[in-house]
Structure 1
Amino acid sequence: MKAIETVVNVTPERQIIVQLPPDIPAGEYQVVIVLNESVKSDKLAVKNQAKRFEYSDYPVGLVADNFTFRREDLYDR
């Protein structure tokens, strides 16, 4: 079984044409089609969500000059 994920355009006649990879031999196959509503609006929603979480830079410096973030310093053994 192979899963192929792609974006297609549906024609006014409600048809789609899918170009398969060259490693798929000719023959009869069982195919499952899952239609996600409006791929473009999903991508736009993700972009808008990312813009909401913008933070400005605020330099805080180190807590102390001798403080490091090495794993050995962060966790007790």
Structure 2
Amino acid sequence: MKTIETIATVTKDGKITAQLALDIPEGEYQVVIVIDEKPLVEKVESKEKKAPLKFSAYPVGLVSESLTFRREDLYAND
């Protein structure tokens, strides 16, 4: 048994078309179809209408003026 996730097109007369991987031999198969409540186009439109997220930024400064994060200090051989 294989699980395949793909995008399918449904026509007005109720026919469904989907692209499958080429490793599946041609023939008739028993399949299970799960259809989302909304078409894919509506989902894309709703995502575009959302306002962008705003993150607050504030300066925190250095922990201590005596601390440095130079490469030489981090990888010093003691």
Whether 1:62 and 2:62 are equivalent positions in the alignment is yes
Rg (Cα) greater in structure:
2
CA distance in 1, matches of 2:28, 2:9: 23
Structure that is richer in strand per residue: 2
Percentage identity across aligned positions?
Answer: 48
Higher relative contact order (CA 8 A, sep 6+): 2
| Structure 1 residue runs without a partner (length 5+) | 69-77
CA RMSD of aligned residues (A): 2.9
Normalized against structure 1, the TM-score is what? 0.59
Task: State the shift of 1:45 in Å.
Answer: 4.0
Counterpart in the other structure of 1:11: 11
| Structure 2 residue runs without a partner (length 5+) | 70-78
SS in 2 for 1:17: strand
Number of aligned positions between the proteins: 66
Structure that is richer in helix per residue: 1
